Each structure stands twice: as C-alpha cells, then as structure tokens.
Amino acid sequence: MAGRDVLDEQADHSALRAKYREERDKRLRADGNEQYIEPTGRFSHLLDDPYVARSEREPMLDEVDVAIIGGGFSGLVTGARLKQAGVTDIRIIEGGGDFGGAWYWNRYPGAMCDTAAMVYLPLLEETGHMPSQKYVFAPEIFGHAQRIAQHFGLYDNAALSTQVTALEWDDQSSRWIIHTDRGDRIRARFVSMGTGPLHRPKLPGIPGIETFGGRAFHTSRWEYDYTGGDPGGSPMVNLADKRVGIIGTGATAVQCIPRLAKDAGELFVFQRTPSSIDVRNNHPIEPEWFQTLEAGWQHRWLINFATLQTGGFAEEDLVHDGWTDISKRIRDRVVADLGAGAAFTPATMLKAYEDSDDEKMTEIRARVDAVVHDHSAAEALKPWYRQLCKRPCFHDEYLLAYNEPGTHLIDTDGKGVERIDEIGVWVAGKHYDLDCLIFASGFEVGTSTARRAGFETTGRGGLTLSERWAEGMQSMHGIHVHDFPNLFIVGPSQGANLISNITQNLTEAGETIAAIVRHALDEGATEVEVTEDAEQAWVAMLEGSERAFLGNADCTPGYYNNEGRPIGRRERLNASGYPAGPVAYFEYIDAWRTTGDFLGLEFR
Ligand code: NDP
C-alpha cells in the first residue's frame, strides 16, 4: 500500500498498524545486535583519541579518598557535589584528553544536543553560565564540561588520557585498586563509575567493510585533517571535490548530513530506516530575560520539564518543545477520554497513546512532503513506526538537505548496504564509487558491561560485574551493587531513567553519592554496601513494572527494542526505571539521602 493511501486513511488504525508491521518485518533479522562489529583491524584506530597527542608520564602509585572513573557529565557532577560536600581528595580518571565524555568524542559537524540547554547543561547556576541558544552545539557543551571541571577544581589531581584496564576490590585493606594503561596502581576508598551508556563506537558488519580503500571513519572520531573545517562550523573545504558516503540515518547522521550536503562534492546517504524529524525551532537566549530568573531557577525548570515530559501537570511549560509536546498530547487525550466517560484503565491509556502517536507521526510524515521536493525521496524519508520506537529527532535543516542537487538518498528499503568493496558501496546490485565513507552507525548497547566500559570490575570473592549482571543489571537505585562495596554506579538505569534529559539522572546520583561518602567519612566507616535484601527488593519492585520503551514487539528494530530480537529479563532489567516515574524517583531519592538513614546500606 502506498504511503499516500495510508495517510488518507488516517482514521483506519488497522491499515496504519498493518503498514507499520510490514515495514518492521522488512527489517527484522536473525542476527539482531550481532550484526554490528567492533572496530578492529583496519578500523582499530577508531578507538584512539585523534584530538590530543599522548604524552608520557610517571605511573601513579598513590591513594585517594574517591576515584571517579569517567570524566563526562557523570564524573563531573559527582566530583562537583563531592567538593561541595567538603570531600576534596578526589581523582577523575578519563580515557579522553580532556573532560566532556560524549561531548569530548563527538565533534562531528553540526553536533548539538536535542534537549534544551536550560535543563541539559548541569550546574548552570553554580557556574554562572548562560546558554547561548535554546539548543546548543557541541563545542559549547564541551566548553561547559571544562567550565565545571575548572570551577570545582577537578583538573587538580586528574588523570586524563588514562584508560582504566582493571578495577579490583581488595578485601584486606577495604580499598579498590585501579589499574590503567599508564601503569598506574591507584588505591581508592571509594570509586564512582560513570562510563556512559553509549560510549564504544560500533560498525555495521557489512560484507567487505575491511576492504574499503578510501578514507573511512566513525562520526565519534571525525577526521577534520581529511575533511577540512572544524567543530565550530567552518566549511569542510577538502570535501568539495569528493564523493562522500554516509551509512546511517540516526540522531547523529541527522545532525551532520546538512553540513555534508553543503560541503561535499556529492553526498550519498545510505538509509535503512528513516528517523522521525520533528520541528527544532532554535533561538538565541536573551541575556535580559536570563537575568530575570530567580535563584533556584534551574531546579524548577528541571522538575517542570521532567513532570511534563512524563505525563504530569504543570501550570506552565517552561521548555515547551517536541519532548513535552509528545507527552502533553497523550496526557490531554487521556483527560479528554475520561471526561467523555471512558473508564481509567490501561486500555484507555493505550488508546490515548496510540491516537496521539498516530496524529504526531502523521504530522511528521506531512512535514516531509512539505519540505522535500523529490517525490520518491520524500516517500522514502517517511517513518512508518511509532515515534518512541526509535530516538525521536528534531531538526530544521535535515530534510532540506535532500533538496541540494549533490545529495542523493540511497534508500535500501530496510535491507541496509549490501556490501562494500575497495572503491565503494553496493546497494540492490548498484555500485556507488566513493572517496570517503562515514559510519554514523552508533554505539554498543547491550554488550557486556566490561566490553562497553573497556575494563572489568572485580568485587568481593573474585566476582566480576559482568558475571553479576550476566542476566541483567541488579542494583539498588541504579547506584549500589551487593558484593561491590564502596562502589557507586552513575547512570539513568534502575533509577529515574529519564531518557529525555540524561544529565538530570546524573546530577541526582552525584548528589546522592556525595551525601553517602560524606556520611561514611564522618562516621569513620571503612565500608559501605547495599544489603542483599535491599538490592533484591529494589529489583523486584522494578520488575513489577512495564515502564520502558523496551518490549514493544510492533516497533521497527533498533537499540530501544533489542534490535527486534526477543526481550528477556536481561534487557528489561537493563532499561528499567522507577515504576512511579522520574519525578517520583527524584522526590524519593531526595528524601532518602536527606534523612541521613540511608536505608538499605550498611556502614561498617
Ligand atoms: P544509532 O544507533 O541511532 O543509528 C545507527 C544508524 O546506522 C541507524 O540509522 C541504522 O539503521 C544505521 N545502520 C546500521 N547498520 C546499517 C547498514 N548495514 N546499512 C545501512 N544503515 C545501517 O546511532 P547514532 O549515533 O545516530 O545515535 C546514537 C544515540 O546517540 C542516539 O540514539 C541518541 O541517544 C544519542 N545522540 C544524542 C544526541 C542529542 O541530541 N543529545 C545527538 C546524537 C546522538 P536502522 O535504524 O535501520 O537500524
């Protein structure tokens, strides 16, 4: 059935559902996550740091109160909160040559954050920074990471360009021992670990990928020495006479394709599944307005955004964007249905969700028709799935890029690139000669904890975290793991799991960890550990909930649904969040840490 017909039959839900299933079925594949490969051999340099020259130093063989592994926003906000709590003997250990994490590595042209800077950039009030725009570009975010590090003295004593190779608990001394690729052997009373959920670049396992003879790189290691230009937006002048291919059309590709379309001689976009592209509407932030904000504004904005983004009510929508629009529509429809006499049941909620989603996706598909001139390109760019099946994207130039004469959309009808040879790419039996091939193929999700972090963590009795979590993450609050004393994990899972604003999860975790470490130091406790009972109770509560994107068998495959493969306990646990939602979690954890009882933890 043609897309136009389905559009016309919007009221006919079953036709739309059938179209969604048809598109999903084209993309289902038996190898699921295994279709991706690690960058080895010809691509092993993709794990290197292209941004700084490595300088040699003496190994560190000392001890600190708190070692923080990972210098992204997880490590920075934890370090900041610890310093604020008077814990000063801290060392952040980071593989990159500077702080920033994802924003250190991802310098591709057009990189920006889809979450409004007023809520995404942590500690704005503490550091006195005014974001330049509603949504800011990567260099400003990287700069903000550096600002936090400077403001809280986190460069002092840091170990940058240092990759942890092993983390081991020493029961005799109640200390963690951290081994690194610099020959360090750092002892730490406490370790906080924020290694990032989307950290390790992955490549599509397309036959022949190793044989490509032109320039090839991953978006998270952009090779400006080849393309010309810089992360600040200068044109990539060296591409003017090049035939450039890009594989992938996810959130990253959506941001860099408009820049490539302008600068490349010819651009070939190899698409397997189109992203949903909603309105961006960026604008500068006015200093006069910013100065009128009262102390404590960022916390109010954070709670307002989280509330509206997760279906709650607030008098005003402070951020007012595509994220809050999605959930406000669903919420308002539930209210309207209830007002019209519907019973408050899961079926009412589901119907409201489906109706709102159909409406939103119809708008998104209509936007493609309104912007893209070429009819067949427009048809191919329409997403046929529910908006939250994949990472929603927001952009005002992406679709326009397909009106550039040198930009060619090579739609693979859900099948992906067929094979790669020395001089280019094959799709449906047709060869495309390329000088350069860019992989916008994403990051490892769902592989083992150690593989994604780049090192193994060994707790009490020689048990590794990968073994402990082989059947899924097990923790209390997403932070504490039994048999891994004095270790704190920083990430969204098993806590608030607020996906639309990751940094809020991290800032809350940092504050919690700082309170615990402060308490342990004040009490003279050498060990802090979650009891087995408390951890199990938390996990049981999470398992009683269906609250996750995962599990939607109707969705087109992607990393939100285990690439379309069956979703078991492991996948559910890894993506679970507090059943009552992020705002309830933030209230719960604030009360938990401020009472000073730290229920569920044992201080010895
Ligand atoms: P994704 O994993 O989202 O996208 C990978 C892309 O590669 C998909 O389009 C995928 O297609 C495609 N692909 C994989 N294999 C093939 C193949 N064989 N042939 C053709 N295409 C193929 O990675 P991204 O880097 O785009 O994004 C990762 C995440 O990073 C986002 O989901 C988001 O969470 C985060 N991000 C956040 C931003 C922000 O604003 N804060 C900005 C950018 C990224 P298919 O869809 O069919 O699998």
Give per-residue pLDDT as tens, 370-389.
999 999 999 999 999 999 89
Name the closest-CA residue to atom 10, ligand 1: 248
Nearest CA to ligand 1 atom 17: 416
Identify the residue whose C-alpha is closest to ligand 1 atom 12: 248
Quick one: average pLDDT of 450-469? 93
- Torsion on CA atoms 112, 32, 572, 201, rounded to nearest 10: -30
Instruction: Please tell me the distance between residue 432's alpha carbon and the centre of ligand 1 in angstroms.
Output: 22
Residue 546 has pLDDT above 80, yes or no: no
Residue nearest to atom 18 of ligand 1 (CA): 416
Domain count, the chain: 2
Q: For the segment 432-446, what is each residue's pLDDT rounded down to a tens digit?
A: 999 999 999 999 888
Ligand 1 pocket mutation pick from 105, 119, 252 by most atoms within 8 angstroms of CB: 252
For 81-119, how does the pLDDT look when each residue is reduced to its tens digit (9 = 90+)?
Answer: 999 999 999 999 999 999 999 999 999 999 999 999 999
In a domain, 367, yes or no: no
Q: What range does the domain containing 82 cover?
A: 63-200+445-603
Q: Which atom of ligand 1 is nearest to the CA of 205?
A: 18
What's the confidence (pLDDT) of residue 9? Answer: 46
Domain match, 135 and 174 both? yes
Domain final residue pick, 408, 439, 470? 439
Mutate which of 73, 199, 249, 425 for ligand 1? The one with the most ligand atoms within 8 Å of its CB, which is 249
- Separation of CA 180 and ligand 1 centre (Å): 30
Distance 254 CA to ligand 1 centre (A): 9
In this structure, is residue 14 part of a structural domain? no
In this structure, the answer to whether residues 484 and 430 fall within a common structural domain is no
Nearest atom, ligand 1, residue 114 CA: 40
What is the whole-number distance in angstroms between the Cα of residue 559 and the centre of ligand 1? 9
Residues 465 and 534 in one domain: yes
pLDDT band, residue 12 (cuts 50/70/90): low
Q: Which of 406, 439, 472 is the last residue of a domain?
A: 439
SS3 for 40-94 is CHHHHHHHCCCCCCCCCCCCCCCEEEEEEECCCHHHHHHHHHHHHCCCCCEEEEC
Atom of ligand 1 at shortest range from CA of 445? 2
Residues 544 and 556 occupy one common structural domain = yes
The preferred substitution site among 73, 198, 218, 426 for testing ligand 1, maximizing ligand atoms within 8 Å of CB, is 198
450 lies in some domain? yes
Q: Are strands 436-439 and 215-218 parallel, antiparallel or unpaired?
A: parallel
Give mean pLDDT, residues 179-208: 95
pTM metric for this prediction = 0.95
For ligand 1, atom 2, which residue shows the shortest CA distance?
A: 442
Take atom 13 of ligand 1 and give the residue whose Cα is closest: 248
Backbone φ and ψ for 76, nearest 5 degrees, come out as: -65, -45
Residues 117/133, Cβ–Cβ less than 8 Å: yes
Ligand 1: which atom is nearest the Cα of residue 502? 41
Checking if the pLDDT of 420 tops 60, the result is yes
The reply to whether 395 and 533 lie within a common domain is no
Q: Whose CA is nearest to atom 36 of ligand 1?
A: 251
pLDDT computed for residue 1 by the predictor: 41
Mutate to test the pocket of ligand 1, among 73, 218, 382, 391 (most ligand atoms within 8 A of CB): 391
* Contact call for residues 211 and 420 (beta carbons, < 8 A): yes
Write the DSSP assignment of 190-212 as a string of letters. Answer: EEEE---SS-SB-EE--TTGGG-
Q: Write the residue with the smallest CA distance to atom 23 of ligand 1.
A: 442
Residue 259 lies in a domain: yes
Q: What separation in Å is there between the alpha carbon of 414 and the centre of ligand 1?
A: 14
Q: What are the structure tokens assigned to 87, written together?
A: 């814990």
pLDDT of residue 346: 83
Is 7 part of any domain? Answer: no
Residue 410 clears pLDDT 80, i.e. is over it: yes
Cα-Cα end-to-end distance for the chain = 66
Decide if 459 is inside a domain. yes
Using the atom order of ligand 1, give the atom closest to the CA of residue 557: 48
Ligand 1 centroid, distance to 73 Cα (angstroms): 21
Nearest atom of ligand 1 to the alpha carbon of 390: 32
Structure confidence at residue 559 (pLDDT): 85
Atom of ligand 1 nearest to the CA of 113: 40
Q: What is the pLDDT of residues 385-394, one digit of tens each?
A: 999 899 999 9
434 in Cβ contact with 268 (< 8 Å) = yes
Q: Are residues 430 and 567 in the same domain?
A: no
CATH of residue 550: 3.50.50.60
Q: What is the pLDDT of residues 16-62, one digit of tens each?
A: 999 999 999 999 999 988 999 999 998 998 889 989 988 999 999 99
Give 498's Cβ-side CA count (13 Å radius): 32
Residue 551, pLDDT > 60, answer: no
Q: Which residues line ligand 1 (CB under 6 A)?
A: 27, 113-115, 198, 204, 206, 247-253, 255, 270, 272-273, 391, 416-417, 440-443, 558-559
Domain contains 283: no
Q: Give the contacts of 291 (CB within 8 A, at least 6 positions apart).
A: none
Separation of CA 91 and ligand 1 centre (Å): 33
Kindly state whether residues 257 and 398 are assigned to the same domain. Answer: yes
Q: What integer pLDDT is reported at residue 14 of this predicted model?
A: 86
Are 144 and 220 part of one and the same domain? no
- Average pLDDT of the chain to the nearest whole number: 94
Helix (H, G, I), strand (E, B) or coil at 274: coil
pLDDT at 562: 86
Q: Whose CA is nearest to atom 19 of ligand 1?
A: 416
Same domain? 111 vs 161: yes
Residue 27 CA: which ligand 1 atom is closest?
47
**Ligand 1 atom, smallest distance to 558 CA:** 48
407 and 470 assigned to the same domain: no
Same domain, 423 and 543: no
Shortest-distance atom of ligand 1 to CA 254: 26
- Please give the pLDDT value at position 6: 47
Domain boundary among 410, 439, 468: 439
C-alpha 227 – ligand 1 centre gap (Å): 21
Please give the distance, rounded to the nearest whole angstrom, from the Cα atom of residue 107 to the centre of ligand 1: 16
Same domain for 449 and 575, yes or no, is yes
Residue 315 lies in a domain: no
Residue among 222, 272, 444 whose CB has most ligand 1 atoms within 8 A, to mutate: 272
Spacing, Cα 179 to ligand 1 middle (Å): 33
- What percent of the chain clears pLDDT 90, i.e. is strictly above it? 82
The two structure tokens encoding residue 326: 């999605």
For Cα atoms 589, 592, 595, give the angle at the middle one, nearest 5 degrees: 140
CA atoms within 13 A on the CB side of 210: 7
DSSP characters over 554-575: TSPSSGGGGGGS---HHHHHHT
